[in-house]
Structure 1
């Protein structure tokens, strides 16, 4: 039976983190707090675990989950052809609410879904998430909600939607932003075929991005939710 562990209590934090690590290692799902909204997480390198995540949310392979990392330096192990502009964005906005789509390292043995050779990466700004990521390595993480429902901003809200599909829930308090991360696509830019596009508006604004990217940021043509 899945349980919520209160990470503000030292004893529950230790127990919850230990059980979360074991759950990830066994290919099970855990819910973690992030700075944006709560996320449901799985071992990024276990195709079965990623499939379990997609099924828990009611999603298909056409909606691959992003990958959360413990630090920006991990990006080089997951992605290739990383432009200097992206590294500047990482320095400015990570840890934080910016998800960046890049060309995936072709040597990695993983299956996140229909990614077309890309990976979406982010470093979250939440101590509980970062502690778990430091111990497990990169995790495939999507918002902790059923597809079409509002993203959960509390562990209890995530439990209401996902229930026993998730093995461990880590309660890190109410999500401070309550708004999803901004998603940008840098793959065309890395190939010299275009600029960086905003795919989803979120925590980091277009104005903030343009301050760093200048004309490398493509004009808005409508974003997806």
Structure 2
């Protein structure tokens, strides 16, 4: 039986929803990256995510909801959460909040913590799926742990050929969501994304705190090595080595055997959207490695460099 949905008919939507109700996994399109989705209330379903991805059990997951009202059934919203959700949801923003007692979210999904990461995705197919379900979904990126995040259904099928994948086209954002921890005395960005520090500070009318070193992982994307291709990645290059493919940014004078330019016009948002798809295309044993030109480390460039630094670790 073919396990890919290319058009969202009512029958296809019901098939995907029923797969989730049965405790199985699907590949879910979102505006950020494709997620490996499961019923967030089911220990067995959530365990399948960790097993399939070979993901460390101490690395918590993000719960996805159709709207903020549903999210508030599971976590304690403070004033910061209300402001940010009203400003940026649905969209590429995840909030870390204290979970409610007996909220029903699998302890596997929270890695046993008293906090929960919550998001309302903007992708229309993700919204349709969530609105028709009786439970929220956890949905980490649909790839083996530490490897490149998928931004097309084809990327997911390459990693998990037997998985039912809902094909929602290429992800429009192309990077995982910005994660903001709202459980302390001042909000802190734990993972940069399309929404920048400046965006969050403007919405909250305050200066964000600095991320502190901690042995407790409260959100995804904190491991030193993550988002990695199978061949070496060399950053901020000044020259090319023989046999390397080139991941370029803007105009340049390099001549490479294979090149993908993240943005000819030096547009950081365009570069972010192209990053994972470009790395996936260059990730081939026919090259000795991938050489990456410098990316400005401001605005969304912080998020791009965060992914590249973890990919090269």
| Same fold at TM > 0.5 | yes
What are the superposed Cα offsets for residues 167-188 of structure 1, whole Å, 9 maximum, x if unpaired? x210011000111100111112
Structure 1 residue 163 displacement after superposition: 2.2
Residue 117 (structure 1) aligned with residue 114 (structure 2): yes
C-alpha distance in 2, partners of 1:113/1:158? 24
Structure 1 residue 116 displacement after superposition: 1.1
Structure 1 residue 220 displacement after superposition: 5.3
What are the superposed Cα offsets for residues 170-216 of structure 1, whole Å, 9 maximum, x if unpaired? 0011000111100111112xxxxx21111101111111001022335
Residue 79 of structure 1 is matched in structure 2 by 75
C-alpha distance in 2, partners of 1:146/1:38? 12
| 13-22 or 204-213: bigger deviation | 13-22
Residue 139 of structure 1 is matched in structure 2 by 137
Which structure has the larger Rg over C-alpha atoms? Answer: 2
Instruction: Describe the shift of the 1:49–1:114 C-alpha distance in structure 2 as closer, same or farther (beyond 3 A).
Output: same
C-alpha distance in 2, partners of 1:220/1:118? 17
Residue 125 of structure 2 is matched in structure 1 by 128
Residue 149 of structure 1 is matched in structure 2 by 147
Q: CA RMSD in A?
A: 1.8
Structure 1 residue 110 displacement after superposition: 3.1
Equivalenced residues, count: 213
Residue 102 of structure 1 is matched in structure 2 by 97
Structure 1 residue 21 displacement after superposition: 1.0
C-alpha distance in 1, partners of 2:91/2:111? 26
The counterpart of 2:206, out of the listed 215, 220, 225, is 215
What are the superposed Cα offsets for residues 81-105 of structure 1, whole Å, 9 maximum, x if unpaired? x211211100111010000011111
CA contact (8 A) 1:2 1:169 kept: no
Instruction: Describe the shift of the 1:185–1:2 C-alpha distance in structure 2 as closer, same or farther (beyond 3 A).
Output: farther
Structure 1 unaligned segments of length 5 or more: list them.
Answer: 189-193
Q: Please state whether the residue corresponding to 1:215 is helix, strand or coil.
A: coil
CA contact (8 A) 1:6 1:13 kept: no
| Structure with the larger RCO, 1 or 2 (CA within 8 Å, 6+ apart) | 1
- TM, length-normalised to structure 2: 0.65
Structure 2 unaligned segments of length 5 or more: list them.
Answer: 214-220, 223-306, 308-313
